[in-house]
Amino acid sequence: MSRIGKQPIPIEKGVEVKVNGDMVTVKGPKGVLERRIHNKIGVEVNGGDVLITARDNLRETRALHGLFGALVSNMVTGVTKGFEKGLEIVGVGYRAELKGRTAIFNLGYSNPINFELPDGIDANVEKNKIVLMGIDKELVGRTAAKIRSLRKPEPYKGKGVKYVDEMIRRKAGKAGAAVK
């Protein structure tokens, strides 16, 4: 059994969790999330907690037990508090702006990049910082990764789009290698 999967997930006030067959629906003040549960995992609502159970003791099932425990916990957190992911744009002339549901990035290419934000994701753009917000942790992370992939940070000058908490390992350029 997984240690994470064994822990009961507390249901906060204003949150409603329903289990219908292999679908778990979590409804809260920020919205509604649904997820299909693997057939080797059981989910039950017991009073003010959600309990995740494994149907057998195989290695794969134990891994799924912890996974779905974390996923359901993230669903409950998402509909109450939401999730945020910050990105930073580094480079001279690199910038972003928001027009409606489209983020426009100038990242050193000949043309600007228009990035359509998916449903369920909101964004704030201030100077060179972008903050993505949403109730689905997976969608927020995937959207941040797509934006980062538009121009990954390079190791020589550090230019590109990086996560706010990301450290870029810098390399010495040609001149650094020649000097002894």
Per-10-residue mean pLDDT for the chain, 180 residues long? Answer: 83 92 94 94 91 91 92 95 96 94 94 96 94 96 97 93 93 68
158 and 110 in a common domain: yes
154 and 87 in a common domain: yes
Check residue 143 and give its pLDDT.
Answer: 97
Check residue 180 and give its pLDDT.
Answer: 55
40 and 102 in a common domain: no
107 and 44 in a common domain: no
Check residue 127 and give its pLDDT.
Answer: 86
Enter the pTM of the model: 0.88
158 and 88 in a common domain: yes
Q: For residue 167, which phi and psi values (nearest 5 degrees)?
A: -105, 125
Task: Name the residue range of residue 89's domain.
Answer: 83-163
Helix, strand, or coil (residue 148): helix
Check residue 47 and give its pLDDT.
Answer: 86
- Residue 37 included in any domain: yes
117 and 64 in a common domain: no
75 and 19 in a common domain: yes
| Torsion sign across C-alpha atoms 25, 26, 32, 38 | negative
- Residue 19 included in any domain: yes
99 and 35 in a common domain: no
22 and 44 in a common domain: yes
Q: What is the CATH number of the domain that holds 62?
A: 3.90.930.12
3-state percent breakdown (helix, strand, coil) of the chain, nearest 5: 25, 40, 35
Q: Checking phi first, is residue 142 left (phi over 0); if not, alpha (psi -120 to 50) or beta? A: alpha
Total number of domains in the chain:
2
